[in-house]
Structures are given as C-alpha cells and as structure tokens.
A and B are shown apart, each in its own frame.
Chain A
Amino acid sequence: MISAGDITALGVTLKLAAVSTAVLLVLGIPLAWWLARSRWRFKFLLEALLALPLVLPPTVLGFYLLIALGPDGPVGALTTALGGSTLAFTFGGLVIGSVVYSLPFVVQPLQNAFSAIGNRPLEAAATLRASPLDRFFTVALPMARPGIITAAVLGFAHTIGEFGVVLMIGGNIAGQTRVASIAVYDHVENLDYVNAHWLSAGLLVLSFVLLVVVYAMNRRVRVMPA
C-alpha cells in the first residue's frame, strides 16, 4: 500500500501544481495579451527570454534560482531585508521555480489564442461602447477560453512532472518541499522498488484522470460554443 509519507509528497505535488498554475495564469494572461497585441520593435528579445526554460537543462535553471533565492542573491537579499527568510528550500521558493520553469508552456498557448482572435472582434466591441478593459474581459478572455484551458493544463502537468528544478532548490523537506517526483527518486535510490511502484502508479493514474477530465471539458467547450 502507498505509504503515508508518499501521500504527503503527492499532496505537496498537487498543491505546488495548483498554486503554480494559478500564479502562472495571473502572470501569463496579461503578459501573453501584451505579447499578442504589442508592436514593440524589440518584442522578440522578450519572447526569446521567455522561451529559455524550454531549452535550458532544469538543473541550470535550478542552479541560477538557487543563487538568486539564497541569502546573497538579489531575491534572497530582498526577502531577508523585508524581515523574511530566504526562499531557498521553502514551498514559496518551489512555486517561484515552477513558475519560471513552466512560464513558456503557459504563455505560448495563451499568446497564440489571443493572436487568433484578431483585431476585428475587438474593434466591433469598441464600436459597441466597450472600453479596453471591458473588451479584454468580455471578448478576449471568453474567445481565448480553449487556449486558457490548454495553458492551465500544460502548466499544471508540467509542474507535476517537474524534477530538476525542485532537486536544486527544494531541499526535500517532508510535508513542505518533498514532491512526488523526488520521493520516487529517493525510493529508487534506496532500492525500495515497492514504494517506488506504488507512488509512480499513483502519479500515473492521477495525471491520466486529470487529463481525461480536462480533455472531456475542452471537447464540450468546442461542441457548445454558446
């Protein structure tokens, strides 16, 4: 049977994925909207920067995050100056790492969805007295709904599957930063294949169920656009 420690690790994984997805959407939606609409000449620089986590080994990303979040890093210095502790080896640090790591997976589908809307529906809304903010909430967001769902799924799934970044900045503290992927790694390291099997199967079933639910929802969205 799956151990209590592994259930806790699964719980941390789900919590991390949920919080990261929420943060990713809150940051990613305005960012993607801006990227889809802006005609700024140097936009491509920002786009390249945002795509970096796709290319970099997670350990490299994790290494830089560890430095940044540590007591001598800029983020760490800021949080300690504000009376807090450094974020390295904390859940908050994991969220930051996950958000950076998964950002391109969320921003790109959002940006594509916003670009696909085109100018015309927004112009039509403008001539119907909708202010820019009104147009964003009543036209852009609803029309981009399939893209937002895709972005959320990718962000969530990518965070569940995260390993390298967590390994570098997580610290493997049970109940706080010990996520399922790390726990599986530990079990295998200790040749505890039974628990590795239970946890891996649990993660597999959980991921599959999540994806089935989301794809089923997404299908209904497409069939009934109203």
Chain B
Amino acid sequence: MSIEGRFHARLGSFQLAVELALPSRGVTALFGESGAGKTSVLRAIAGLDFHPGSQLSVNADVWQDEGVFLPPHKRPVGVVFQEASLFPHLDVRGNIDYARKRAGAGQGAVDLERAIETLGLAALMSRSVDVLSGGERQRVAIARALAVGPRLLLMDEPLSSLDAARKSEILPYLEALVREVEIPVIYVSHSLDEVARLADHLVYLENGAVAGAGPVGEVLTAPDLPLARGSQAEALFEATAGGYDERYALNLLDFPGGVFVVPGERLAANSKVRLRVAARDVSLTLSPHSETSILNVFPAKVESLNPSGRAQAVVRLDVGGETMLAHLTQKSVESLALAPGMAVFAQVKSVAVLA
C-alpha cells in the first residue's frame, strides 16, 4: 500500500525529475522553496498536467504509465487549491453538493457530516460564497474536496493566500481534520510551521528533485539537508502527557529521552502531543548543571558536527534514541572539545507544544 510516482517534465527552463514513494497513510508534506516543483508534482498526481513518460500508481492502481493516463475526473482525489476556487454561481451548500452528487463509489470514504462540523461550516451552509471571508472560503473548499469521497487528499498551500490571522483561524481546523480523516493527505507547503504541525512524513524538494524524504523528524534534522542548517532548524518530539504540577502550572510530558517540563494549561492525561524544539534554543554543557534556570536538561550523545559557515556549527544529538539539533558557535564547539560519540547534557531553553 503506497503511492509511487516518477515525474519527468521540462517546463521552460525548469526541469522536473521527481521520484516518490509515499506511505499511503498519514500526512505527507511536500516542502521546499518557491519554484522547487511542489505544485507541479501535486498537479501531476491530480492529473491536471500531463507529463509524457511519467508514472504514477496509487495502492497498486495505475494512474499513469506508458499508454495509460487517467484523466483528473476519474482519479479518486480531492484537491484543495491555493485559492478556494469555489463556484461563484452556487452557495456553500451548492458547492459541497456539487461534489457530493458526483462522489459515486467513493461516497462514505470520509465522514462528511463530521468534517463539516469539524470545519465549523454548519452555520454557513446557505450563505452565498462571495460574502465569506478568506478563511471561510478555504474551509468550504476543504469540505468540498472531502465531499467527493476521495481516497487521497491533495492540498496545495491551502493557507498561503490567507493573512496571519486567517491562517491561525483555520490551522486548528486543519490539524483536527487531518487527524480525523482516514485517507492519506499530501500537503504542499513552504511553511516550516505548517509542516511541523501537520506532517508525519516529509519530502524535501529542491530545484525540481527530491533532496530528502522520510519521517518528518528525520528529514528536519538530516545533516545533509539545508533544513538542519537554516535559522528555523528544529526537531520534533512525540510526547505523552504524564502529569501536572499544579503549583507551578507545569505539564510533565514523557518522551523516550526523558520528561519535558512545559508551562501551560493542564493537558488531558495520556494525550499525545507534538513538541517542537528549535536548534537555536538548545545549548550544551559537559555536566548536568544543578543551578540553572533551565528546566529541561537531558543527557545526550553527540552524533555529528557540521560546520555551517565560519562561525556556526550544527550539532546533531541522540537523546534517548530521538534526534535533537543544537546550533552552537564554532568557538563553543572547540572550547568544549565536542566530538562525535561524546556524552553531553542538552539544555533546552524553550519548547513549543504543537497539538
């Protein structure tokens, strides 16, 4: 069960040569700079563009191969475009029903009523689409894409045309939704924040080719990719809410490397959360400081050291089997005499709880 594609195309001066093998469950992010070929890949999967000589099979069904090309209206996909692209001559219900009427065999693949509820659309159903806000329009577009009963949901930067306020309005809906639907989602984005929140798998595209692919935590911290070197570099941890310190309003979140102590409202016991630790918020010491303001200190092992420019270095750490990144200066690397295999303590200055 998987999605396998090979896409080759020359679009002007841009060369697309992408090979994909995506898991058929969870959210896969296609991530990269503008012009890396993310949207081209998504359009090819949807069948909206035909690139001769390309191949695509989804769960053993051949969608494109030598002499085979399933047109877009015969592919069981749902597509959410950058702009909502709602039909202006239909109201909200009309737009969703347009898809529902054509769902055919795919009907029931997604619990539509539940999705409408999750997306907060129940009250908007009889509105005309041109009175909706940008965020509402995009939520309708998502519901419409689900209403057609897709076996694969494709989303092309669904938040990029929205301002920051609309984005933060719709992101919680999206997070809830992708966890609810039981179909694979391919999510195109150039926002590391959206990827960190939503993705289980990550395909990193660069100049029309795949530069790295795998579980999101691995790709984000891969030493040979620019992701780990950028100023936004980060590591993700799946943790479980273990306990709560009432007195200081601190959540105790268990992960394989230890316990993260994170201030905030009490999380439901045993709820799964995703934590984000930015590489610039991690510092290293050789001994566990007992006198420090930092709550989160974990024993770690240096895995690799990669210089990043003259001043900086990216240190990959093994924390209980999980990977953490630290951005240090070259000077600190030398003064601590860091080397692969060395035992150190990672001090984490701040942790973000994503979901």
Q: Is the CB of B103 within 8 A of A129?
A: yes
Least distance between A204 CB and chain B CB atoms (Å): 35
Least distance between B163 CB and chain A CB atoms (Å): 21
| Chain B, Cβ-Cβ closest to A127 | B79
Q: Which of A121, A131, A142, A225 contacts B73 (CB 8 A)?
A: A131
Q: Is the CB of A139 within 8 A of B145?
A: no
Contacts A124-B81, A129-B102 given; does A145 touch B89 at CB 8 Å:
yes
Least distance between B6 CB and chain A CB atoms (Å): 22
Least distance between A29 CB and chain B CB atoms (Å): 17
Q: Is the CB of A225 within 8 A of B88?
A: yes
- Say if the beta carbon of B130 comes within 8 Å of chain A: yes
A134 and B98 alpha carbons, distance in the complex (Å): 11
A135 and B87 alpha carbons, distance in the complex (Å): 11
A155 and B352 alpha carbons, distance in the complex (Å): 65
Q: Is the CB of A124 within 8 A of B85?
A: yes
Q: Is the CB of A127 within 8 A of B88?
A: no
- Say if the beta carbon of A80 comes within 8 Å of chain B: no
A120 and B98 alpha carbons, distance in the complex (Å): 16
Q: Which of B46, B89, B94, B128 contacts A127 (CB 8 A)?
A: B46
Q: Is the CB of B48 within 8 A of A123?
A: yes
A123 and B154 alpha carbons, distance in the complex (Å): 13
| Chain A, Cβ-Cβ closest to B90 | A226
A9 and B130 alpha carbons, distance in the complex (Å): 47
- Say if the beta carbon of B91 comes within 8 Å of chain A: yes
Q: How does the 8 Å CB contact mask read for B177-221 relative to A, with 1 for contact and 0 for none?
A: 000000000000000000000000000000000000000000000
What residues on B are CB-neighbors of A129 within 8 Å? 73-74, 99, 102-104, 148
Q: How does the 8 Å CB contact mask read for A119-143 relative to B, with 1 for contact and 0 for none?
A: 0110111111111101100110011
Q: Which of B75, B87, B145 contacts A143 (CB 8 A)?
A: B87
Least distance between B137 CB and chain A CB atoms (Å): 12
Q: How does the 8 Å CB contact mask read for B68-98 relative to A, with 1 for contact and 0 for none?
A: 0001111101110101011111110010001
A130 and B77 alpha carbons, distance in the complex (Å): 12
Contacts A139-B87, A143-B88, A226-B90 given; does A128 touch B99 at CB 8 Å:
yes
- Residue of B73, B79, B98, B99 most packed against chain A (CB within 10 A): B73
A121 and B144 alpha carbons, distance in the complex (Å): 13
Least distance between B73 CB and chain A CB atoms (Å): 5
Q: How does the 8 Å CB contact mask read for B138-162 relative to A, with 1 for contact and 0 for none?
A: 0000001100100000000000000
| Chain B, Cβ-Cβ closest to A123 | B48
Q: Which of A120, A132, A143, A225 contacts B81 (CB 8 A)?
A: A120
Q: Which of A124, A135, A143 contacts B79 (CB 8 A)?
A: A124
Q: Is the CB of A126 within 8 A of B128?
A: no
A134 and B130 alpha carbons, distance in the complex (Å): 23
Contacts A120-B81, A225-B128, A225-B130 given; does A126 touch B88 at CB 8 Å:
no
Least distance between B339 CB and chain A CB atoms (Å): 53
Q: Is the CB of A127 within 8 A of B72?
A: yes
A121 and B90 alpha carbons, distance in the complex (Å): 12
What residues on A are CB-neighbors of B79 within 8 Å? 123-124, 127
Q: Is the CB of B102 within 8 A of A130?
A: yes
Contacts A138-B98, A225-B128, A226-B90 given; does A128 touch B85 at CB 8 Å:
no
Q: Is the CB of A126 within 8 A of B94?
A: no
Q: Which of B89, B103, B144 contacts A142 (CB 8 A)?
A: B89
What residues on A are CB-neighbors of B81 within 8 Å? 120, 123-124
A138 and B88 alpha carbons, distance in the complex (Å): 12
Q: Which of A120, A127, A138, A226 contacts B78 (CB 8 A)?
A: A127
B-facing residues in A104-126 (Cβ within 8 Å): 120-121, 123-126
Q: Which of B47, B91, B148 contacts A226 (CB 8 A)?
A: B91
A145 and B130 alpha carbons, distance in the complex (Å): 17
Least distance between A173 CB and chain B CB atoms (Å): 45
A139 and B99 alpha carbons, distance in the complex (Å): 12
Q: Is the CB of A126 within 8 A of B48?
A: yes
| Chain A, Cβ-Cβ closest to B85 | A124
A47 and B104 alpha carbons, distance in the complex (Å): 41
| Chain B, Cβ-Cβ closest to A117 | B88
A66 and B91 alpha carbons, distance in the complex (Å): 51
Q: Is the CB of B104 within 8 A of A225?
A: no
Least distance between A138 CB and chain B CB atoms (Å): 7
What residues on B are CB-neighbors of A124 within 8 Å? 79, 81, 85-87
* 16 chain-A/chain-B pairs, Cβ below 8 angstroms: A120-B83, A120-B85, A123-B79, A123-B81, A124-B81, A127-B46, A127-B75, A127-B79, A127-B145, A127-B148, A128-B144, A130-B102, A131-B73, A142-B87, A225-B128, A226-B89
Residues of B within 8 A of A (CB): 46-48, 71-75, 77-79, 81, 83, 85-91, 94, 98-99, 102-104, 128, 130, 144-145, 148
Additional A-B contacts beyond A121-B85, A135-B73 (13; CB < 8 A):
A124-B81, A124-B86, A124-B87, A126-B73, A127-B75, A128-B145, A129-B74, A129-B102, A129-B103, A130-B102, A139-B87, A143-B87, A225-B89
Would you list the 5 A-B pairs with minimal beta carbon distance, nearest first?
A: A129-B102, A127-B79, A126-B72, A142-B89, A124-B85
